[in-house]
Chain A
Amino acid sequence: MAVDRTFRICPQTGLAYHRSAEQLMKAHAVAGVVALLVGGVLALFVALTRWPAVHMLPADRFYQALTAHGIDMLIFWIIFFEIAVLYFTSSTLLRARLASPRVGWAGFALMVIGALITNWAILRGKSSVMMTSYVPMPAEPSFYLGLILFAVGALIGCFIFLATLVIARYERTYEGSIPLVTFGALTACIIAILTIANGAIILIPTWLWSLGYISNIDPLMYRVVWWALGHPSQQINVSAHVAVWYAIAAIVFGAKPMSEKVSRMAFLLYILFLQLASAHHLLVDPGVSAEWKMFNTSYAMYLAVLASMIHGLTVPGSIEVAQRRKGYTKGLFEWLRKAPWGNPVFSGMFISLVVFGFLGGISGVVMGTEQINIIIHNTIYVPGHFHATVATGTTLAFMALTYFLIPTLFRRELIMQGLAKWQPYIFGISMAVLSLFMMGAGTLGVARRHWDMAFAGNPLGFEYPTTAYLMMGLVGIAGVGAVIGGAAYILITVGSILFGRKLPAGEITTQPEPVRAPVSEALEGHGGGVGVLEARGTFALAMLLLVSFVIYYFINWKYLASVWGLS
């Protein structure tokens, strides 16, 4: 087998696409969008069922739909897309040939087969166990098997990414260090490998248990190990979407990182403090001591939180610096006001950043606090949190990147550009509202994964306050809005790929120029040293985040202090 060494140089962006990598990236992105479509249809049913006035599905269908919604969105859509991102950030950004594309196709096939098997298992109706599949509630063996096959496929993708980095270095396709965005993707890849290893440790025995080869899986052990899969996998998403934020800031504004060192350090902290969030799920579990909880949710200094707070400053900060260089220097916020708000690549990325920070980040830390978790655990506050982090943060960042990829990777002009302009707003704002009211309802005690908040027909009965009903109604409405926003994304992207005007392919070469930073940039450097870069506006926004964070955090302590004494 001859090694494919042909590259296509994109005429608009100058990016060099390795021909074999290009096909794989397209396949993964398309498979991801298909999963998003399935998850999105289910999202509509879930939202319309939890909207008390509509209460659409019967109970069994609701739990079934919710299980599939969680898995299709959180696992299949995101990881398919992430493998595409890994290939893009290694092969394309480094102008290197992708390592062993054939193995890549085998990995892709495994992922597709795994996704189909798990969906089929859920569809059969005997595996409505939610994404977490807590033992001893059983699912059919095929439910676990599909997830295991999917994970093996994703693992293959991770190793191809790493091998491509090796090839790039060996064949000297770039000069100096790998770009920041590739570095971010590398942290995502390392976290993914660790995460999949944890997943194997728990899902393989659980699969054997479902087949009858193992008699008992301890429920607490399951939770400890499963969450070493469950939450670090969200750290993959965070690393990946922060890398996408930096990429979009660079693509749209030509923004440079404020300091390479700080941004890379922050990525590294995600790996070092990987398991913090796993322990957040065990804060009210029996048999886990307070000391264990305090240490493992913080490692004594919350440096993963610090890392996200750093990116929260440096991503918009780099945009501000770039904009000010272009002359948008008036006041604190001219740089932001004059940003291209009509460009979905930018607006999607910026909404993702703001909602991730203000809603997702703050709520995550608050409910991850040992004692505060008592008043939040398993309420609908929790899905409120992750619809801000994953559905708005990660998904919207990936959507924004797609608008960039369609012309350059798929070589199609975007159709319905008017709708595309609005799509990030419809999706992002609906999702933010949904998150906010889920958190509100959770504060009032509404349970997550629950079919009937009215407990109709139960002789004991319980009525939530009317405010809780109002909030769940608003969750339903916002959910429908988010589904419309998601549908618009699928319509535009699929429509563009099928019917968009074809764009020129650009020249084909076997010897692309190595990637290097332009000389002018090297001379200009990063502005020339300490205190030269001006990002006052970003700093003001960051302070707003910190103040909101502090206030909201202590409000929760105050609320906790009012409940029954517990010791």
Chain B
Amino acid sequence: MSAILPPAQRLWWKEPVERIEIVWIVLAFVWCLILTFMMPYWHVFGKQNLSNEAYRTTPQAFAAKAQAVVDKWKVREVGGVPVVRPPAGADIYLVGRLWQWWPAYELKKGESYRLHLSSLDWQHGFSLQPVNINTQVLPGYEMVITITPNEAGEYTIVCNEYCGIGHHNMLGKIFVVD
């Protein structure tokens, strides 16, 4: 019963290591290096990376920017929420608040947009379905992600950070057209 007794060899640290253990450690270590390598590799060659771009903001400042975008490019409404059709390459603002993503957007497939995300109150989770793209949205922080939709369709933003009793009803929309 030696794992619950002191080591049989007093100088256990001088004992040779079993060959099978060495082989496994080497294999596992190589795999660990590959795991590490894949992250910078994807930053260079992959197309799905979050930017480092983020700013401090306030709920008032961020809400005003979102309002400006709505005033400029609103085309219609869906379920009481304005739908905004921005030009390609535009800076677009998505507000997370209890319990709504605001406004909705209509984007063109294959075009890029600078999506700004922030919360006006508690923490929220931006979860774009059905593609399943997820990021954390914090009050006081404005994150910028350049998004390039690759397929037309209706996308829904679910909130996946628990934000109180209305959390499960917090939805938003992004429409992608050809």
Footprint of B on A, CB under 8 Å? 59-60, 63, 93, 128-130, 134, 136-137, 174-182, 218-220, 223, 246-247, 249-251, 254-262, 282, 284-287, 289-290, 293-294, 297-298, 300-303, 305-306, 309-310, 313-314, 317-318, 365, 369-371, 373-379, 443-445, 447-453, 455, 457-462, 464-465, 515-518, 521-522, 524-526, 529-533, 535, 538-539, 542, 546, 549-550, 553, 557, 560-561, 563-567
Please give, as numbers and ranges, the residues of chain B lying within 8 Å of A525 by CB-CB distance: 8-9, 15
Q: How far is the CB of A326 from chain B (nearest CB, A)?
A: 14
Most chain A beta carbons < 10 A, residue from B29, B43, B132: B132
The answer to whether B19 touches A531, judged by C-beta atoms less than 8 angstroms apart, is: yes
The answer to whether B127 touches A565, judged by C-beta atoms less than 8 angstroms apart, is: no
Footprint of A on B, CB under 8 Å? 1-10, 12-13, 15-21, 23-25, 27-29, 31-33, 35-36, 38-40, 42-43, 46-52, 54, 78-81, 104, 112, 117-118, 121-123, 125, 127-143, 145-150, 156, 158-165, 167-169, 171-173
Supposing A250-B4, A460-B171 touch, asked if A258 and B160 sit within 8 A by C-beta, the answer is: no
Q: How far is the CB of A393 from chain B (nearest CB, A)?
A: 18
The residue that B138 contacts in the complex, of A181, A286, A563, A565, with Cβ under 8 A, is A286
The residue that A298 contacts in the complex, of B2, B39, B112, with Cβ under 8 A, is B39
Q: How far is the CB of A64 from chain B (nearest CB, A)?
A: 10
Most chain A beta carbons < 10 A, residue from B46, B123, B134, B141: B134
Give Cα distance in the complex from A550 to B27, angstroms. Answer: 12
Q: How far is the CB of B175 from chain A (nearest CB, A)?
A: 11
Give Cα distance in the complex from A250 to B27, angstroms. Answer: 27
Please give, as numbers and ranges, the residues of chain B lying within 8 Å of A258 by CB-CB distance: 18, 20-21
The answer to whether A445 touches B129, judged by C-beta atoms less than 8 angstroms apart, is: yes
The answer to whether A378 touches B125, judged by C-beta atoms less than 8 angstroms apart, is: yes
Give Cα distance in the complex from A317 to B19, angstroms. Answer: 12
Specify the chain A residue showing the minimal Cβ separation from B57. Answer: A286
Please give, as numbers and ranges, the residues of chain A lying within 8 Å of B6 by CB-CB distance: 174-179, 515-517
The answer to whether B27 touches A566, judged by C-beta atoms less than 8 angstroms apart, is: no
Please give, as numbers and ranges, the residues of chain B lying within 8 Å of A522 by CB-CB distance: 8-9
Please give, as numbers and ranges, the residues of chain A lying within 8 Å of B129 by CB-CB distance: 445, 462, 464
Please give, as numbers and ranges, the residues of chain A lying within 8 Å of B15 by CB-CB distance: 259-261, 525-526, 529
Q: How far is the CB of A496 from chain B (nearest CB, A)?
A: 23
Given contacts A63-B167, A286-B117, A518-B8, 8 further A-B contacts (CB under 8 A): A219-B141, A249-B3, A250-B1, A300-B36, A313-B21, A525-B9, A564-B133, A566-B146
The answer to whether A557 touches B168, judged by C-beta atoms less than 8 angstroms apart, is: no
Give Cα distance in the complex from A452 to B165, angstroms. Answer: 11
The residue that B35 contacts in the complex, of A130, A290, A305, A376, with Cβ under 8 A, is A305
Give Cα distance in the complex from A59 to B99, angstroms. Answer: 14
The answer to whether A566 touches B123, judged by C-beta atoms less than 8 angstroms apart, is: no
Please give, as numbers and ranges, the residues of chain A lying within 8 Å of B147 by CB-CB distance: 564-566
Please give, as numbers and ranges, the residues of chain B lying within 8 Å of A175 by CB-CB distance: 6, 10
